[in-house]
Structure 1
Amino acid sequence: MTAIPETEALPATATSARRVALIVAIAFFMQLLDSTIISTSLPQMGASFGVPAVAMSIGITVYMLTMAVFVPLSGWLADRFGARNIFLVAIALFTLASLACGFSENLTQFVAARAVQGLGSALMTPVGRILVLRNASKSELLNATALITWPALFAPVVGPVLGGFITTYLSWYWNFFINVPLGLIGLALVARFIPGDREADPKPLDWPGFFLTSLGLACLLYGLERIAHPEDGLRPTVLLIAAGIVIGWLAVRHLRRAAHPLLDLSSFKVLTFALSTLAAGTIFRMAINATPFLLPLLFQVGFGLSPVDAGLMILAYFLGNLGMKTVTTPTLRRFGFRSVMVVNGVIASASIMACGAISPQTPQALVVVLMVIAGLSRSMQFTALNTLAFADIDAAQRSSAATLSSMLQQVAMLFGVAVAAAILNLSQIARDRPALDLADFRIAFLAIGVIGLVAALRFLVLPPAAGAEVSGHVPAN
């Protein structure tokens, strides 16, 4: 599968690569902010629609399942119709659906709008990553990846705080309306600055591969999401996860044998991609994604802080995320991916475990320092993982690799929250307590930190020169 020559000859200058990455980052921020901001609005939305707040969770579930169904198709669509065109469609769908969410008058309308939002989101992330890969040379990939990574670090931290403020002082529908100006800006910038491209000879759609991959991913993600809600029953959750694993195995079996597979699995033969996305990368992302879920609960349930005070404490975590951006590139250039990902991974895991050691009596300054360190190490590891994954991927593998990476990141995100929630619930049951307390959080943070530590040590299998073409690191002889 060969791209039109103009795709390979895109001017991968530092300026154009940064411009494309920044535009993609704006779209990613809109998408990720929306997915984190909604949780604070559910009670008010339920009251507005005349349904219990818990019934509003169907909006989150439908969004997630729609994403799961269409993410596997995104790479094929980008090759068939052009990555820029599909990215424009994704932003337009997401923006219009956000407007529809805000104007919804009942739960049915809201769920329908969220389904369309999920479709836009499913196309946005992998296709945005494809655009960055096609427009950045290997020497610019690290800086470009750092730019598109910050929304994933920023949005989960600031989203709940911003959502709470908007819901309290304005109204829930403004949580969706704020996407409209961001979407319009994104559409204008993509149309103006990102060049068009498409495959010269696109392959036919692999319908069996699409069906198996989408169904397996949907079952797995929905099953993982249910783990955080044990009151819904254990049996359906286990059946969903089991079905997801079995169907996923059938999908892999088909993709390996198909003449024109929907997803090219040859990317997993590349060590840097396999380790960053499937093996150690997925496990470490699980630990990193569990932390933003646990911290607000720790501060509100364990410490007894108000949502506002808890949000201010978590703000230090975000400042650490943001502060690392200026030193990520020179650090990776000086020490290389292998050394940084092992040492920083150990620091990140230790900071997660340390969160289980703090209490309401811990000096606030010490808690803030811990949050900053945790944020710094999280930011470094995210950028390193996302960059190394594509360091050795060739042009023919980009679309499938970006799609596979997006799918596995979704699994890691939900798996992290699911495991953290399961540990909290099991600890509470084992200790025979009527409600969560500080001891449950200590166990959860310790367990998640140990999982992250094991994953970090797996990066030792990387050769010292791994990703050197991207980082510019020159290993010592």
Structure 2
Amino acid sequence: MSSSATKRYLPWVVATALFMEQLDSTIVNTAIPSMAASLNVTPLSLKAVVSSYILSLAVCIPISGWMADRFGARRVFSSAVAIFTLASILCGLSVNAPMLVAARVLQGVGAAMMMPVGRICIIRTFPKSELLAAMNFVIIPALIGPLLGPTVGGLIVHWLTWRDIFFVNVPVGLAALLLAQRYMPDYQAEQPRPPDLVGLALFGGGAALLSWLLEVFGEHQLGPAPAAALLLLAVAMLAAYVWHAGRVAHPLLRLGLLRIRTFRVSVAGGFVTRLGVGGLPFLLPLLYQLGLGLPAWQSGLMMMPSAAAAMGMKFISARVLARRGYRRVLIVNTVLIGATIAMYSQVGPGTPLAAIVALSLCLGFFNSLQFSSMNSLAYADVDGADSSMASTMASSMQQLSMSFGLACGSLITGWFLGGLAQSERLALTGALHYAFLTLAALTIASSVTYWRLRPEDGESISKGAGAGKT
């Protein structure tokens, strides 16, 4: 396939897969209360259905770059789409919570190979001056998933059953598989690096154990001594990986890339920021359905303004970054996100609908600008030869921070709820309000990490995109 044809069709291939992944995640969040009632568990306990998926992404993403280099981008991407589609069917057939969580882990494995490999192909196909525009083009169609997901999920749950939400992925997955086979470039390294299995065991094991501890804290009877021992083990495994990565020629995640200032700020700052916003997709449906007493379909409608605003921002984010620069945008926008999250602490049964819609619009608008800025800044000063590793590291940290953020949001809510039943509407609403305030404070504090940027940072990306290149 010619270079011009690859540039023309590749964004559509990646966008179709992202549409499926985003549609799935937003549908699942809306259906959590119905799942809990069907499986006879509490809604907060089903955070594992969401977090297990995100965690499997974080654990498996580090090896996706090596697999693409070793087996070819097209083969890995196509296999990932097929795994994701098959896992969706298994989710719909699940008869209990453990089976559903296991199927979600398999879904995460598929998504772990799908998203980073697609991003690697985008980075290798487009020059830096066209990178922001290409990424925005990919994200705009993918945002149709969050736009439709809450409403489609709410309607499916209202008229059918929660199991049917997973079967929606099947036709989309088949379409993505067909497009990938036809239009995906088959990038492959001539001499792929050997796999770092020791690094995978240390990093994956430590991250998974740490996330699991956040999951079970306050939910199960885990004594202080076992919890402290497991926490020490998780930290030791991650520390051992840092030691290991500095002593092997081809580590799983090459930590030396963090010496690049823009990459380091993007990854570290993005990690802390996502800790604050990572819990919102899980907590907001709980606020709407359990706190405000809205049906699932109406709760889904309440999520649509955020996705619509996110799509709108993608059309102007390049111009905003070109005019204001990455440093100013990230510092100010992070504070605006935190302020918006804090405003959700004022949402209750008597809140006007127009006010909730306005909050949703602001959240989608600011989040979209934030993610576009953080994701593109990571590659501003990275050489082409390191693009695969940089994409792998950035994707891993993004998913890991989202997993921790979701667990923290649920943990904070459970902490303030105390021993009260989650069916107590006023008590749950109050606990959610405290959680929003806590996450808002964490988000605002994360803006400090972007002070290390310089005014000219990111110009290699923003100036070309702001000039109107597509």
TM category, shorter: 0.7 to 0.9
Q: 1:409 aligns with which of 398, 402, 421?
A: 398
- Contact 2:209/2:234 (<8 A) preserved: yes
Q: 1:466 aligns with which of 430, 434, 457?
A: 457
Change (3 A) 1:339 1:289: same
Distance 1:58 1:376 in 2: 28
- Contact 1:465/1:473 (<8 A) preserved: no
Distance 2:207 2:366 in 1: 30
Which residue of 1 is the match for residue 435 of structure 2? 444
Distance 2:332 2:102 in 1: 46
List runs of 5+ in structure 1 lacking aligned partners: 1-5
Distance 2:108 2:74 in 1: 19
Change (3 A) 1:135 1:44: same
Please give the residue correspondences for 1:189-268 in structure 2 after superposition, counting only pairs within 5 Å: 189-227=179-217, 230-231=219-220, 233=222, 235=224, 239-268=229-258
Change (3 A) 1:231 1:131: same
- 1:438 Cα deviation from its structure 2 partner: 4.2
Which residue of 1 is the match for residue 264 of structure 2? 274
- Contact 1:100/1:113 (<8 A) preserved: yes
- Contact 1:18/1:144 (<8 A) preserved: no
- Contact 1:76/1:205 (<8 A) preserved: yes
Distance 2:323 2:130 in 1: 16
Instruction: Write out per-residue CA displacement over residues 77-124 of structure 1, whole angstroms, 9 at most, x where no aligned residue.
Output: 111112222111111222233334445678887666545433212211
Count of residue correspondences: 461
Instruction: Write out per-residue CA displacement over residues 192-242 of structure 1, whole angstroms, 9 at most, x where no aligned residue.
Output: 222212111112222211221221222123223334x62454656655444
Q: 2:325 aligns with which of 321, 332, 336?
A: 336
- 1:188 Cα deviation from its structure 2 partner: 1.7
Instruction: Write out per-residue CA displacement over residues 248-295 of structure 1, whole angstroms, 9 at most, x where no aligned residue.
Output: 1111110111122222222211111111112x2111122222233332
Distance 1:331 1:340 in 2: 8
TM-score normalized with structure 1 length = 0.85
Task: Say which SS state the counterpart of residue 230 (structure 1) adopts.
Answer: coil
One-letter amino acid of the counterpart of residue 420, structure 1: G
Distance 1:155 1:418 in 2: 23
Distance 1:295 1:102 in 2: 23
One-letter amino acid of the counterpart of residue 23, structure 1: V
Task: Say which SS state the counterpart of residue 324 (structure 1) adopts.
Answer: helix
Task: Say which SS state the counterpart of residue 163 (structure 1) adopts.
Answer: helix
Q: Which moved more, 1:350-359 or 1:236-245?
A: 236-245
Task: Say which SS state the counterpart of residue 346 (structure 2) adopts.
Answer: coil
Change (3 A) 1:190 1:400: same
* 1:185 partnered with 2:175: yes
Distance 2:277 2:10 in 1: 27
Distance 1:206 1:95 in 2: 28
Please give the residue correspondences for 1:358-377 in structure 2 after superposition, counting only pairs within 5 Å: 358-377=347-366
Task: Say which SS state the counterpart of residue 319 (structure 1) adopts.
Answer: helix
Change (3 A) 1:116 1:344: closer
Distance 2:242 2:130 in 1: 33
Change (3 A) 1:17 1:140: farther
Q: Which moved more, 1:73-82 or 1:240-249?
A: 240-249
One-letter amino acid of the counterpart of residue 201, structure 2: F
Which residue of 1 is the match for residue 345 of structure 2? 356
- 1:149 Cα deviation from its structure 2 partner: 3.9
Identity over the aligned pairs, expressed in percent?
38
Task: Say which SS state the counterpart of residue 200 (structure 1) adopts.
Answer: coil
Which residue of 2 is the match for residue 3 of structure 1? none
* 1:312 partnered with 2:301: yes
Distance 1:104 1:70 in 2: 23
TM-score normalized with structure 2 length = 0.86
Q: 1:27 aligns with which of 17, 22, 46?
A: 17
- 1:61 Cα deviation from its structure 2 partner: 6.7
Task: Say which SS state the counterpart of residue 397 (structure 2) adopts.
Answer: helix
Instruction: Write out per-residue CA displacement over residues 351-410 of structure 1, whole angstroms, 9 at most, x where no aligned residue.
Output: 112222344334332332222112111111111111111222112222222221122112
- 1:70 Cα deviation from its structure 2 partner: 2.6
Which residue of 2 is the match for residue 289 of structure 1? 278
Which residue of 2 is the match for residue 389 of structure 1? 378
Change (3 A) 1:350 1:61: closer
Distance 2:223 2:9 in 1: 47
List runs of 5+ in structure 2 lacking aligned partners: none
Distance 1:196 1:230 in 2: 46
Distance 2:141 2:240 in 1: 34
* 1:142 partnered with 2:150: no
